[in-house]
Amino acid sequence: MDLNFSPEESAFRAEVRNFVGEKLPAHIRDKVMNGVHLNRVDHILWQRTLHQRGWGGPGWPREFGGPGWTPTEQYIFEEECAAAGAPRLISFGLKMIAPVLMAFGTPAQQARFLPKIMAGEEWWCQGYSEPGAGSDLASVKTRAVRVNSPEGDHYVVNGQKTWTTLGQYADWIFCLVRTDPAAKKQSGISFLLIDMKSPGVTVRPIITLDGAHEVNEVWLEEVRVPAANLIGEENKGWTYAKFLLGHERTNIAGIGIAKRELARLKRIAEAEGRLADALFAARVAQIEIDLMALEITNLRVLSAERAKKAPGPEASILKIKGTEIQQAIAELMMQAVGPYALPFGQQDVGPDYAANLGAGYCNLRKLSIFGGSNEIQKNIISQMILGL
């Protein structure tokens, strides 16, 4: 197993670094580097900038309009973008529903949805979690009943989804729905694509601890969905859901982002004189060691993918440790500035770099919950690796 980058991969890194340095708008870079929330326009601007370069679908194969990058090249791209202060690409379209469409969608579905995802013309959100079905997704109760009619076969959907990230911006939502209530939990679920402009779809904001409107609850009341929007086979949605979650948990590791935020932590700690505190400095060093170990683990996964091996329980390891590291960095940033971290977003209280630290800490508590809680990921590891 060779974990070193080849000369070609090093040249690719230089190409990405030069492009991002030239094309990333300064106002977006400043927001990312200082932990300021990005808006819809910021995300779409960067997505369209990448699309113009032919990089709108990082990691997508050429047959679907992507650059045909290897997993290692995709990793390099994400690391360089994070280091330069580029926004993290919104994954719901690019890295979640797109791979499902490529693997299980019909040619008509692929032609309809994939180009608009890559061009930043349509925004997607995820309709998995419900009030009684979070990490236990097999308990979803949102119901879809198929109706055969002269106007066209369709489903009538009723139910509620929650914690729908950036659903207020979304044009489409991919949903797990129950189509056979008599079947075993995993066997009676289907995977539907729903237009957010459909009559009966209501988005209600959930304001989080940091005062931000990032997540929502989505109500579906007598929503008509064309049967052509079914992914794969009816009642086989659990298969497609598991496929999608493997991609989501690998992406959550966010190693490039963690590296950038660790550098930010060091700058803040230096400015506050905290690195002279041996205990504080030791905690920073431990996070850096953990991050280096996580990166090696991620590179091992990439090496396996070169041999066409899909991520298995390793995705759960990356998810657990990656989220823990990001949370630990946010906690130390807040501790470094002390009470100046408490007034969320107030630039006139304390140093400028302290304004968003408390809000950022609160926001990142979610990382160990979404994408399958870390406790559930530990169960997956114990079953699949340890055989318990």
pLDDT > 90? residue 184: no
| Domain at 364, CATH number | 1.20.140.10
219 and 309: one domain? no
Which two tokens mark 133?
A: 């079905």
Question: Which of 73, 217, 248, 314 is flagged as catalytic?
Answer: 248
82 and 166: one domain? no
Confidence band for 246, pLDDT divided at 50, 70 and 90: low
Is 244 part of any domain? no
Number of Cα atoms under 13 Å in the Cβ half of residue 178:
21
Confidence band for 319, pLDDT divided at 50, 70 and 90: confident
pLDDT > 70? residue 21: yes
Tell me the mean pLDDT in the region 252-271.
92
Pair 258, 322: CB distance under 8 Å? yes
Segments forming the whole domain that contains residue 45: 7-89
64 and 30: one domain? yes
Which two tokens mark 120?
A: 């930043």
In sequence order, the 6+-apart residues with CB closer than 8 A to the CB of 154 are: 146, 147, 224, 225, 226, 227
Give kind and range of the element (H or E) at residue 81: helix 71-84
Which two tokens mark 303?
A: 């090496």
181 and 282: one domain? no
Looking at the 3D structure of the chain, how many domains does it have? 3
User: Which of 178, 209, 235 is the endpoint of a domain?
Assistant: 235
Cα distance between residue 95 and residue 88, in whole Å: 12
Is 94 part of any domain? no
- Note if the pTM is more than 0.85: yes
For 103-128, write each residue's pLDDT tens digit: 999 999 999 999 999 999 999 999 99
226 and 289: one domain? no
Per the annotation, the verdict on 248 as an active-site residue is: yes
For 135-157, write each residue's pLDDT tens digit: 677 889 999 999 998 878 999 99
The better pLDDT of the pair 94, 374 is held by 94
